[in-house]
Structure 1
Amino acid sequence: MAHEPEVTTSTEGRDLATYDLVIRRAHVFDGHKALAGPHDVAINGGEIAAVSAEPLRGRKEVDAAEGWVMPGLIDTHLHFYDVLAVSDQESMRRFEEDELPGRLDLFLQHGVTTIKSVGDPTGGILETRAKIAAGTLRGPRLLATGCGITGRDGHPAATVFGGNPWARARFTGEVDSVRQMRDLVHHLADRKVDAIKLLSEGACACAGSPPYVWRNAAFPVAVELVRLPLDFLRAGIETGHERGLRVTVHTTQQAAAREAIEAGADGLEHGVTVEPITDHSLVELMLERDITYTPTLWIHDATHPDTRGNVKKVADAGVRIALGSDTFSGRGLFGANTLEEAELMVAAGMTPVQSLVAATSGAARQCVRPDLGTVAPGKRADLIVLTADPTQDISNLRALGMTILNGEIVVDKR
């Protein structure tokens, strides 16, 4: 059932109330649906204090002029460090000093207030997360898995980082045994990652299974892969759950998706991309296990023609969808890619509201952050103000007037 926000409809008891910031006369998409009529949204500190159909008073007031207020966008799947340029300690230092701050700011400039890194060097991305949280680095709220975990010579170790051994050892975690899998998950949990990402790429290593060859236009290599062994997969998921962490699994084929779900995964990164979903029982299994499906159309749409149809099939069935662009350095623009992902979801057959839910409350659920993704009292004041209606035209996400992060106006384009 969709969350019903607590909306103040009377000024009783509030006649003298003055909030830190009030956004006045805005249409509101609350993360689940559009509220009827214009509202005032009040903020105290870093939290939403009230959503009222009646006027509210603020020490600072912003007239939305009957534009739209909605939760800041959440991108649940991206790779922040430059996988093409970081190849030793010096190049990593240069990236962190010269490139990182500007790329973080791009997200805010496009209305993205939370990002989730799912395969960056563990030490670097956690240090970046700490700097943002401490306020010494400006950027969106950052969540991170640390390195992605794969089998020996799996993706992305032997693919993206096949010619970059320095980065391979830091961006990926290759395991050769169940014990190594458990130890690595415990190590990441000890470092306080926000979630665990496992990679099960390609075809089953069993008789009769078709080979899977990894190809990506951004890289010159093609690598034949097999899936992560099932006992490794189960061990990673079980250990993550023992540590209270959500575990999602990178898949591309129906068989791999089923295997991940049956092993206990909480969500699928990419889902099914290289073939059409023909097994309806797989969709039923997603619903039964309450799986979140993150389609990453931005990276797969141009090269995998079945991806759009698969997204529509699972969305129409009621499977939970989370927005994740799979943004990585070298293509497109950070932040803008997130907006394109929302548009591609609609092009695939989702409604604008379904796409907005995937980018807000659905993404917050995927990240286990119930304080995010909803416009309601008590939630974090991560908001965007738009000058046009995104519930009718998803491209109106580009009509950004203001980005508010933790109650502070960080971008003002009015």
Structure 2
Amino acid sequence: MTGEPESLESEALARESPESEAVTTSAEGRDPAAYDLVIRRAHVFDGYRARTGLYDVATRGGEIAAVSAEPLRGAVEVDAAGGWVMPGLIDTHLHFYDVFAVSDPESMRAFEQNELPGRLDAFLRHGVTTIKSVGDPTAEILETRAKIAAGTLRGPRLLATGCGITGRDGHPAATVFSGNPWARARFTGEIDSARQMRDLVRQLADRGVDAIKLLSEGACAHSGSPQYLWHIPAFPEAVELVRLPREFLRAGIETGHERGLRVTVHTTQQAAAREAVEAGADGLEHGVTVEPLTDDSLIDLMLEHDVTYTPTLWAHDASHPDARGNVKKVAEAGVRIALGSDSFSGRGRFGANTLEEAQLMVAAGMTPLQSLVAGTSGAARQCVRADLGTVAPGKRADLILLNADPTQDIGNLRELGMTVLNGEIVHQR
């Protein structure tokens, strides 16, 4: 789609969505008591395209109740003054617990009491209303999810895979957690066989995870596989890894699908990405980063299988010079892309990293509109949350108000005036 006039690009994205015409053009229910919150006179990016004209956006009971070209009234009214309303951002790939600090029960309790609330609030202060954890300790991240859902802990909507599943001595078990056995046993699930893979996926499904994450460069024997040297600047040691066998991947993906869960796979090499897609993966976490994407048939395969590509440039752009060109190539081919920063402790700031990811995708060659779609409706689709990522009646009222147009300059995501979560103003400048 890159290279098309933006008007044509908007129309193509809008046609993709059944919700694209759901915006009302007349004011229904103008009784002031009808709406809890009304954001008045705003431009609207609805998750697919920028709509023409100014609108009032009204919420009721945590949902978007109306989007009207005519004035609405509500118990609380905010004058957007021509600013921009759009869905709250969704970051589909991050690691929330501090992998550097958590090494025993005492440090885990200290993190949850002293650090966790501030990190959650940071997302809201940057307009991120949904986050997806893809490799945190299962019990703790699910408990955090439950507290947020119950309202006893303030934070963005939290989705979680629980531990990431890898081969014995695979990444991140033998890399990030090589010197931290206590955390290694909680943040990662190491398996030696397809049967163990199936059993672990079933256990996670029984605990109520939102999705499954597998790691392809998982250090299991794979005949003929070249080894991949894992190394990123945040960690001093380089570790040689090989790919998971296809039967392990297929066992995890098939079992996840049997339990109604979307399964995404961590890859970095073209060969690993192909194996994951052929095994039935719904998405590629990182995609291809360590080499240029030269296999056009792999792109065709991603399109054929409707696979989502999550670039995570925030974590990999500096150390992998081919990553940007690969993102540009898949975007131009029309592969679905979701925003995921791969944020982790020790570098950058939660929330701010998500905004940087959106900007890096544009720097890689995507248009601002494509980047916005990746962070809203595209991310919601990757998370199988049709109630998120769109400004339309009946959707969750997770919204942000910006002071400038993000469809023309992606940097305007930083011009945040207000964050709304479940219809409640949770941050306002």
TM interval, short-chain normalised: over 0.9
Alignment of 1:102-113 (within 5 A): 102-113=118-129
Aligned to 2:13: none
Within the candidate set 389, 402, 405, 1:386 is matched to 402
How far 1:178 moved relative to its partner? 1.1
1-side partners of 2:154 and 2:373: how far apart?
26
User: Is the CA contact 1:5–1:377 (under 8 Å) kept in the aligned structure 2?
Assistant: no
1:334 equivalent to 2:367? Answer no
1-side partners of 2:115 and 2:264: how far apart?
29
1:7 equivalent to 2:23? Answer yes
Aligned to 2:256: 240
2-side partners of 1:210 and 1:187: how far apart?
32
Alignment of 1:55-74 (within 5 A): 55-74=71-90
Alignment of 1:5-84 (within 5 A): 5-11=21-27, 14-16=29-31, 18-84=34-100
Alignment of 1:272-311 (within 5 A): 272-311=288-327
2-side partners of 1:166 and 1:202: how far apart?
19
1-side partners of 2:294 and 2:221: how far apart?
21
| TM-align CA RMSD | 1.2
Q: Percent identity?
A: 82
Aligned to 2:203: 187
1-side partners of 2:169 and 2:272: how far apart?
17
User: Is the CA contact 1:104–1:138 (under 8 Å) kept in the aligned structure 2?
Assistant: yes
Alignment of 1:229-268 (within 5 A): 229-268=245-284
User: Is the CA contact 1:204–1:256 (under 8 Å) kept in the aligned structure 2?
Assistant: no
Q: Which runs of 5+ in 2 are unaligned?
A: 1-15
1:126 equivalent to 2:142? Answer yes
Within the candidate set 151, 165, 186, 2:167 is matched to 151
2-side partners of 1:202 and 1:212: how far apart?
10
Q: How many residues align?
A: 412
How far 1:68 moved relative to its partner? 0.3
Alignment of 1:141-220 (within 5 A): 141-201=157-217, 206=222, 209-220=225-236
User: Is the CA contact 2:226–2:242 (under 8 Å) kept in the aligned structure 1?
Assistant: no
Q: Which runs of 5+ in 1 are unaligned?
A: none
What amino acid maps onto 1:163 in structure 2?
A: G
1:355 equivalent to 2:355? Answer no
User: Is the CA contact 2:222–2:244 (under 8 Å) kept in the aligned structure 1?
Assistant: no
- Provide Cα deviations, 1:310-367, integer angstroms capped at 9, x if missing partner: 0000000000000000000000000000000000000000000000000000000000
1-side partners of 2:289 and 2:328: how far apart?
12
Moved more, 26-35 or 193-202: 193-202
User: Is the CA contact 2:169–2:219 (under 8 Å) kept in the aligned structure 1?
Assistant: no
CA 1:234–1:69 in 2, change beyond 3 Å: closer, same or farther? same
What amino acid maps onto 2:189 in structure 1?
A: G
SS in 1 for 2:36: strand
How far 1:90 moved relative to its partner? 0.6
2-side partners of 1:204 and 1:259: how far apart?
14
TM-score (norm 1): 0.98
SS in 2 for 1:62: strand
How far 1:16 moved relative to its partner? 3.3
User: Is the CA contact 1:287–1:319 (under 8 Å) kept in the aligned structure 2?
Assistant: yes
Aligned to 1:228: 244
1-side partners of 2:221 and 2:203: how far apart?
28
